[in-house]
């Protein structure tokens, strides 16, 4: 189990690193195009100075945003109106923190939304700038379509999302690996002391506060050693008997020879 977790953690970490590096490389390659697309001075539906108005075509999926330049006079209450051909003025909504800020291509000017008109409007509309500031009208939905059409930007988004997911998976697997290692060490430390495997009785005595029992040499002779000694004695007795038999046979032969010689 620990080997699988270790391999999975290492694989997730390597995948996260590769995907993030690919995302960084894709972002560096597409930075100029991204800056151009995010510049409202170049990509807009209308650029209105104070008191001006313009007609714009809106499709059902468009999200219209009226932008103003962020500067010292940004505290002025924006006055923008979007009126249809039937004379009905659309209310729109106020911007929130999720609405994107736009930056000029040279990075010297930042624009923020002052009014947002959500998708659902269709037809020809007239937008009026009744404020003293310059207003730029952009279509956020059209911008998103252009961004998704850029291959390097699409690769960057996929790589970054995949890299973050792989990083999260690697972190989770790493903590699981640490937890599994801790449980394994805890189990081993309860059975092995000073490199020796302890018995149940020894563990019980240690829990009761007693010392570890040292190994005691047994006073009983090894049965295998005794058996070997017994076998050796039997062999010696057998050899002694054979020698006695041979000696008696030799003496008998000698007596018979003498009797025959004297006879």
Per-residue pLDDT tens, the chain, 263 aa: give them.
567 878 888 888 898 899 989 988 888 887 788 888 888 888 889 999 888 999 999 888 888 999 988 875 555 667 889 999 888 988 888 888 888 788 887 878 888 888 899 888 889 999 999 888 889 999 988 888 887 888 888 888 888 899 889 899 889 888 887 777 655 555 544 455 555 656 667 767 776 765 555 555 555 555 544 555 555 566 666 666 666 665 555 555 554 545 544 55
* C-alpha closest to that of 135 among 64, 52, 37, 77: 52
Mention the CATH class of domain 39-143.
Answer: mainly beta
- Which of 98, 99, 100, 103 lies closest to 36 in space, CA to CA? 103
Asked if residues 212 and 198 have their Cβ atoms less than 8 Å apart, the reply is yes
Q: Does pTM surpass 0.75?
A: no
Backbone angles phi, psi at 62, to 5 degrees: -80, 145
Where along the chain do its domains lie?
A: 39-143
Which among 20, 13, 8 has a CA at the least distance from the CA of 158? 20
Provide the token pair at 98: 């999720």
Q: What is the pLDDT of residue 225?
A: 47
Neighbours of 51 (CB within 10 A): 10
């Amino acid at each position: 189990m620990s080997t699988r977790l270790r391999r999975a953690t290492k694989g997730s970490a390597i995948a996260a690193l590769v995907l993030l590096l690919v995302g960084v490389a894709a972002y560096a390659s597409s930075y100029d195009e991204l800056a151009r697309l995010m510049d409202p001075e170049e990509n807009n539906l209308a650029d209105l100075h104070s008191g001006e108005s313009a007609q714009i075509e809106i499709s059902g999926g468009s999200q219209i945003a009226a932008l103003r330049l962020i500067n010292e006079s940004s505290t002025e209450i924006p006055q923008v109106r979007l009126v249809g051909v039937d004379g009905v003025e659309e209310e729109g909504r106020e911007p929130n923190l999720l609405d994107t800020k736009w930056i000029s291509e040279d990075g010297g000017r930042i624009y923020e939304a002052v009014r947002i008109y959500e998708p659902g409007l269709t037809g020809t509309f007239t937008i009026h700038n009744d404020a003293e500031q310059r207003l730029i009208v952009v279509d956020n939905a059209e911008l998103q379509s252009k961004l998704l059409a850029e291959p390097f930007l699409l690769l960057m988004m996929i790589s970054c999302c995949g890299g973050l997911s792989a990083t999260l998976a690697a972190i989770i697997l790493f903590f699981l690996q640490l937890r599994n290692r801790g449980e394994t060490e805890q189990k081993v430390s309860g059975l092995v002391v000073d490199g020796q495997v302890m018995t149940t009785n020894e563990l019980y005595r240690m829990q009761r506060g007693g010392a570890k029992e040292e190994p005691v040499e047994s006073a009983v002779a090894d049965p295998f050693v005794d058996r070997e000694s017994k076998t050796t004695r039997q062999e010696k007795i057998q050899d002694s008997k054979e020698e006695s038999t041979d000696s008696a046979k030799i003496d008998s032969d000698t007596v018979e020879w003498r009797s025959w010689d004297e006879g």
